Amino acid sequence: MLEIALINGPNLALLGRREPEIYGDETLAGIVSRLSAEAEGLGVRLSAFQSDVEGELVRAVGEAGERGGGLIINPGAYSHGSIAILDALNAFPGPVIEVHISNVHRREPFRRRLVTAMGADAVISGAGPMGYSLALSLAVNLLRR
């Protein structure tokens, strides 16, 4: 069975409470639950991980790469400057989809620089929490090609 790893970075555990006018009111647990059901419907398994610590995210990308499959990642604020996460994404053997809940291009100028996106096959930004569903569909499609 194909596996899609879902990795979320700093402050994403606060979804539903953190700036709901920007990020919506769906919690990370709700997103993971919804995405797990969607993955099952697509015949794939979803594994989920969240950390506020850069090194733990790097390790999680590496471990997901060893299992094969695809990767959906929202690096949060690390997307704007983490070379370590970029390097891990560049080493990932399957498709990588980067997700940002808000439209980073309509926000502060520093948010428009997405260093980690250079390691992604696609970036979904501004679709709200549904961006994760779009990323799942795309990752599965890329894996089945």
SS3 of residue 107 by DSSP = coil
Tell me if residue 80 is catalytic: no
Q: Which domain holds residue 92?
A: 2-70+84-144
pLDDT digits (tens, 9 = 90+) for 68-124: 999 999 999 999 999 999 999 999 999 999 999 999 988 888 878 899 999 999 999
pTM beyond 0.85, yes or no: yes
pLDDT digits (tens, 9 = 90+) for 24-57: 899 999 999 999 999 999 999 999 999 999 999 9
**CB count in 10 Å sphere of residue 55:** 10
pLDDT reported for residue 70: 98
- Annotated catalytic residue within 78, 80, 100, 132: 100
Q: In what order do the strands lie in the sheet with 96-100?
A: 44-50, 2-8, 70-74, 96-100, 122-125
What total of structural domains would you count in the chain?
1
Q: Which residue has the higher pLDDT, 145 or 91?
A: 91
Residue 12 covered by a domain: yes
Tell me if residue 78 is catalytic: no
- Annotated catalytic residue within 23, 80, 105, 132: 23
Residue 11 covered by a domain: yes
CATH number of the domain at 98, please: 3.40.50.9100
